[in-house]
């Protein structure tokens, strides 16, 4: 009967069951790697993590970070171009004002 309940739980919420089995705990931003005994655990709650799952999580976070970095660099370049344009307009406006007030 317990097995049936577990299967139902797995069907309705595989993550919840995995968490019960100690594979996931829901904390994803703190992973401790113990090189001595070659284990990986959650840095927040100490749950033992599957090393492959932990590596996959790190790779996903790395990909997200790289995409975010590329977006930030693109935004920074665009903002820099816009600032240069504004500075050009300001210089022109100042020159026009100087000519007009002479």
Report the site for Zn ion in 47-76 (rule: CB under 5 A). Answer: 47
Token look-up 């797995």 returns 10
Residue 26 has what DSSP assignment? S
Distance from C-alpha of 82 to C-alpha of 66, rounded to nearest angstrom: 24
Give the residue with the Cβ less far from Zn ion, 23 or 27. Answer: 27
Q: Is 44 in the site for Zn ion (CB under 5 A)?
A: yes
Give the residue with the Cβ less far from Zn ion, 21 or 76. Answer: 21
Q: Is 45 in the site for Zn ion (CB under 5 A)?
A: yes
Distance from C-alpha of 53 to C-alpha of 71, rounded to nearest angstrom: 27
Interface ranges with Zn ion (CB under 5 A): 25, 27, 42, 44-45, 47
């Amino acid at each position: 009967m317990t097995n049936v309940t577990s299967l139902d739980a797995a069907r309705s919420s595989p993550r919840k069951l995995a968490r019960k089995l100690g594979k996931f705990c829901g904390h994803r931003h703190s992973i401790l790697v113990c090189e001595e005994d070659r284990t990986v655990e959650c840095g927040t709650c100490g749950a033992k993590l599957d090393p492959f799952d932990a590596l996959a999580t790190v790779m996903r976070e790395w990909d997200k970070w790289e995409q975010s970095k590329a977006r930030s660099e693109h935004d920074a370049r665009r903002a820099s171009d816009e600032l240069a344009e504004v500075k050009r307009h300001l210089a022109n406006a100042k020159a026009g004002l100087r000519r007009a007030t002479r």
